[in-house]
Amino acid sequence: MAEPGKPITLITGASSGIGAALARRLARDGDHVILVARRLRLLQEVSEGIVASGGSCEIAVCDVTVGEAARSCVSEALRRHGRIDRLILNAGGGDRTPAEHLTGEEMRAALELNLFGVVNFIEAALPALLRQGNGQIVAIGSIAGYRGLPRAASYGAAKAALMNYIESLRIDLAPKGISVTLAAPGFVATKDTKKQRAKPMAMQLDRAADLLARSILRKRRYVAFPRLLAWIAAIMRLLPVGLYDRLIRALDRR
Ligand X SMILES: NC(=O)c1ccc[n+]([C@@H]2O[C@H](COP(=O)([O-])OP(=O)(O)OC[C@H]3O[C@@H](n4cnc5c(N)ncnc54)[C@H](OP(=O)(O)O)[C@@H]3O)[C@@H](O)[C@H]2O)c1
Query: Which residue stretch of 51-59, 60-68, 101-109, 234-242 sits at the interface with ligand X (rule: CB under 6 A)?
Result: 60-68
Strand partners for 203: 188
87 binds ligand X (CB under 6 A): no
Q: From CA 243, how far away is CA 254, in angstroms rounded? A: 17
Closest CA to 81 of 22, 24, 9, 135: 9
Site map (CB under 6 A) of ligand X, residues 186-205, x = contact = -xx-xxxx------------
Closest CA to 165 of 119, 126, 127, 198: 119
Say whether residue 10 binds ligand X (CB under 6 A): no
Q: Does 68 bind ligand X (CB under 6 A)?
A: no
* Cβ at position 3, least distance to ligand X in Å: 26
Regarding 145 and contact with ligand X (CB under 6 A), the answer is no
Q: Are 117 and 65 in contact (CB under 8 A)?
A: yes
Q: How far is the CB of 58 from ligand X (least distance, A)?
A: 16
User: Any contact of residue 17 with ligand X (CB under 6 A)?
Assistant: yes
> Residue 188 gets which letter from DSSP?
B
93 touching ligand X, by CB under 6 A: yes
Q: How far apart are CA 248 and CA 252, in angstroms?
A: 6
The reply on whether position 18 binds ligand X by CB under 6 A is: yes
User: CA angle, 187 as apex, 186 and 190 as ends, to 5°?
Assistant: 145
Asked if 146 is an active-site residue, the reply is: no
Q: Which is nearer to ligand X, 7 or 17 (CB)?
A: 17
According to DSSP, the β-strands at 86-89 and 135-140 are: parallel
Q: Which of 7, 13, 55, 226 binds ligand X (CB under 6 A)?
A: 13
Catalytic annotation, residues: 155
* Residues binding ligand X (CB under 6 A): 12-19, 37-39, 42, 63-65, 90-93, 113, 140, 142, 185, 187-188, 190-193
